Structure 1
């Protein structure tokens, strides 16, 4: 159910810009996980997979891995963000993101 909600939100974002259309879309939503891959005509790409962990326990949660890429409209530069979202929270990585200093 959670995966379906996430997927619906991503589609809403894709349709928010009327001049952009979906050129490729693959999705597989199962009770214990999902995979999806979407590409729009403006070069935006989003791929994600999630697996339900600790099924049937009080600690049931979805662990997600994915990436999101887009092209900056002003500079034409392509940005890519990879991420993991699990029991340790949302963990994004990308060359354009600032890095905290080592303690």
Structure 2
């Protein structure tokens, strides 16, 4: 299993709206993420800074490389662009994080 972690940035004042939109995630987007092999996807919010910390686990031999080209994802990005810091194509500005420690039982 592979784990990916990254940060994104929420615009001030949109904390509740961000949660609401994710509570109502589109079924077709959820299916796409599942089909891509994403088994878990967690997003946490630092309320003081608006920083979103996300991590996802992928099934073995899966990748998220093609997800950004999917029309459903592009539609989601456009839907979220008003409440997040984004690139010109509406994709969220993501900062990948390097894993420096893991504890396993």
| TM-score normalised per structure 1 | 0.30
Structure of higher RCO (CA pairs closer than 8 Å, 6+ residues apart): 2
More strand by share: 1
More helix by share: 2
Q: Rg bigger for which structure?
A: 1
